Amino acid sequence: MKSYLIKTFGCQMNEHDSEVLAGILETLGYTPTGEMERAGIILLNTCCVRETAENKVFSLLGRLRRQKMGNPELIIGVCGCMPQQEHMAARIRQLFPYVDLVFGTHNVHQLPELITRVEESREAVTEVWPGSPVIKEDLPVRRKEGVRAWLTIMYGCNNFCTYCIVPYVRGRERSRKPEDIVAEAASLAGQGYKEIILLGQNVNSYGKDSGSGFDFADLLKKLEDESGIERIRYMTSHPRDFNEKLIKVIAASAKVCEHFHLPVQAGSNKILKKMGRGYTREAYLNLIAEIKALVPLATVTTDIMVGFPGESQEDFNDTMDLVRQARFDSAYTFIYNTRPGTPAAGMEGQVSEEEKKERIQNLIRLQNRISLERSIEEIGRIQEVLVEGESKKGKGLQFGRNRGNKMVLFPSAEDLTGKTIKVRITAAQIAHLAGEIV
């Protein structure tokens, strides 16, 4: 039973943490399996940003009880963001006493030691540090095969938006050294990866904790010059910290893609202030205008929350108006839900579920119309597409992403995976473009 299965919930940071967990397990002699019944160790790498993610974890843990009863040697572990919440580790232990291992986001590197403790004592082990001032380098990573790889440049968040649990479970901002990041990027290029996605809760804050003056724009330039990687993306950016220097670096770059993901969250100044976002709607729209002036073919995407406490119909109308003005290429839209331990959880004026659902449907309809219009504008353009493989949408179709991060489908009898090709866009849908090789 030296096989493992990792079930990941949540964001790209969690996905990459799971790659590290997989790398550690494989150095211990474990091999991956896609079947829970065949696993000797099952790790649930959890998220707590949304209540739905937590509910999925609890449901899966409930279903694992029978498997544990049939195989007492099975090790079941819960890790990631959920255990970092106050009292959550104890709650997991109480509700699911057959869970062997509970550890947090700061304890990933301890996995070999924790497994040994479980095996030797056959008792449950809990290890959740409140924070970690030291970044552990050179941990093994088992990345997925493909053309792109995630690369973490920093950990934690200092923003403390009133709705967000992330700073409480990921800790304060800690930036990796530029030379370590460049070395990892160069290694990925040597392994055949064509594109890297730089990860951080707020990549624009990179370097602020070091006091060296070396910032995110400087890191992008260094990666362009020294890493050997073909394409560079990043997520996520905070609008408040996106400055002119960074825009100009991206505009001048041959490798940093022209995709700007800037979560606006709301279009009402009143709500933005209550959220603690640190900018106004006017400042946000000015930023979009500046980006499009310096990078005319930029793709701009966003996150928008509906139903934050105190959001009136007028506030929601402001959000709709901002969407019409910004003309996002796409938006991740979601309904606010209460996260215990955040300031927003205790705010007055909680919006009814019925009203939230009506508002988000109106928002989705508007954004879908704009997304289609923005995609239609691409028709006739010749774009650079990094091919990812065969599409499931039809035989003989392959797919890749353009520099704006839009999916592009095109016919080809030859397997072009990993190659960067020129494609003329001939048709457009909300979620993807179609074209022909030039």
Binding residues for [4Fe-4S] cluster: 11, 47, 81, 157, 161, 164
Mapped to the 3 state alphabet, what secondary structure does 354-390 carry?
HHHHHHHHHHHHHHHHHHHHHHHCCCCCEEEEEEEEE
H or E element: which one contains 111? helix 111-121
Is the separation of the CB atoms in 322 and 264 below 8 Å? yes
* Residue in 146, 153, 211 with CA at minimum distance from that of residue 179: 153
H or E element: which one contains 420? strand 420-428
Tokens at 333, concatenated: 């839209």
Tokens at 334, concatenated: 């979601």
Helices (H), 203-312: 216-226, 244-252, 269-275, 281-294
Tell me the backbone φ, ψ of residue 146, rounded to 5 degrees. Answer: 150, -165
What three-state secondary structure class fits 408? strand
The single-letter code of the amino acid at 333 is T
Buried b (16+ CB within 10 A) or exposed e, 299-334: bbbbebbbbbbbbeeebbebbbebbeebebbbbebb
Is the separation of the CB atoms in 204 and 191 below 8 Å? no
Binding residues: 11, 47, 81, 157, 161, 164
- Other CB atoms within 10 Å distance of the CB of residue 95: 11
Rounded CA gap, 340 and 49, in Å?
10
* Residue in 302, 154, 148 with CA at minimum distance from that of residue 230: 148
Rounded CA gap, 438 and 423, in Å?
5
Rounded CA gap, 207 and 193, in Å?
25
CA atoms within 13 A on the CB side of 15: 12
- Other CB atoms within 10 Å distance of the CB of residue 267: 23
For residue 66, give every residue at least 6 positions away whose Cβ sits within 8 Å of its Cβ, in sequence order, or none: none
